[in-house]
Chains A and B, each alone.
Chain A
Amino acid sequence: MSSAVLSTSAAQGRFFVFDAEALEVWPDEVCPDREASQTRLTAKALAGPASRQVSSEDLSQRKERWLGMTTPASRLAVRPAPEMVSSGIAEIDALAGGLPRGCLTEIFGPASSGRTTLLLAALTAATRRGEVCAVVDASDAFDPLSAVAAGIDLDRLLWVRCREELPQSHPSASLKACTEKKKSDKQTFKFEQSESRSAEYRLEQLLRATDLLLESGGFGLIALDLSDLPPQAARRIPLTTWFRFRRAVEPTPTVLLAFERQSIAGSCSSLLIKLGSTKLGAAGNRTKEMKAAQVPELAHARLLTTLEITAEMVRSRLERKPAGSVSATFASKTAWAG
């Protein structure tokens, strides 16, 4: 640990001390020679108890001098806590404090666990705040009607629909204006469209589009929707990519969300939420007598009205502690439930 503190301070060109008390243990040899180099340490600086023979008067004077010029490690600048914004669902806000700006948040769960519901709620809250949002849709699964029912301002939502194959006119390195024997309409560009290759193309487009959006800046929320991609394909995204996204979003007020089936960003995500559905609510028109008589409910008499969703905060690197337990339950209504 000592060497780590040493190198950090040396890189910053600062004088350093391990601790104010340490001066009494380590004499002036700890302090580097100012005139020669601010970061060079003499060999004695790390010497053991053999060099402790100094007077207490000299020590206190030096201590006062060095304290005036040094910054103790305990007082180094601390990164401020990120600003939290509403996720659009009160229970999630109470659980995790909201969604952090400048951080990567992962939300994962199986099918029908409420991931897209949370996505729409976050987009609604963000567009109501007047922020411009983007959804990078790896599977082209975004439903416009659900978005309108949720109250999203579509003018402020950018939808990037990844496709199964790369566009045929993708850039070539030579930038030729005159194509060599231009392919006629009869000749088709065929290649095998296996599912894994399709997932690869979608992933590639998602990652490149995300890079471009982060570089452009100005977005309040960027959501990466990998919910329908097979987990084995999503796990192919290297951690360095997630790290790059995290570093890119850090100095910005952008909320970066990733929706997937399993957690894949590792320690790069600052907040990790797991979703699951517990039960669905349906309306029917059986009377009490019919229920008592166990008359079977007819399908055409039922109506899907609610979906109860459980959210669990798996990990949070943020300071805020949850209000209660680390899980919460909320219900979402279907658009026709009223």
Chain B
Amino acid sequence: MSMRTSAAVAFALAFACGVAAAADAPKTPYDFGTTATDADLARFVSPLPDGRGLPQGSGSVLQGKSIYLQQCASCHGENLQGGTGDRLVGGRGSLVNGDPAKAPVKTVESYWPYATTLFDYIKRAMPLTAPDSLSNDDVYALTAYILAQAKIVADDALMNAQTLPKVQMPNRNGFVPDRRPDRFPPPAKTPHQSLAIAPAK
């Protein structure tokens, strides 16, 4: 039995016994790659909704306002009303809709279920022209400012690893699991028909 075969058998056995058994396996099957150190991983930030993974640091609404005007307003608007970037505030009450002609307004204020997501996204992907360039303090401050403008936290709120996960977002309970495949009603007996129109773009 070649080394590769025995490794494959060991792997197959580990897999068959589930994840727990794989964790108990004495040695990795191939031993490729090297150990990632804390220093290697220090640049990555991925908080969970309960706050695990949030870094040290803090920021206030007032600090956030000045950073916002410098770094964010050109895309998201002076009043967070959106532009080339997403609208960030408003839209509460627009999600219950069902109007084919009018779109619901999905913003941080009306739609986002977790405040930690705001920190996470700004930290790694914003601002557009220099992603991953803001300090943790700056990101906490921006998070505080946007949440305050959305009337979700007070104007004197301070955001940090302890306070941010406690923020209750308005649409926290707005999400349901995927229950597809759907059970459809029978196809219509009187078909609907409409002709094509020219594309807008």
Partners in one complex: no
Instruction: Enumerate chain A interface residues (CB-CB to B < 8 A).
Output: none
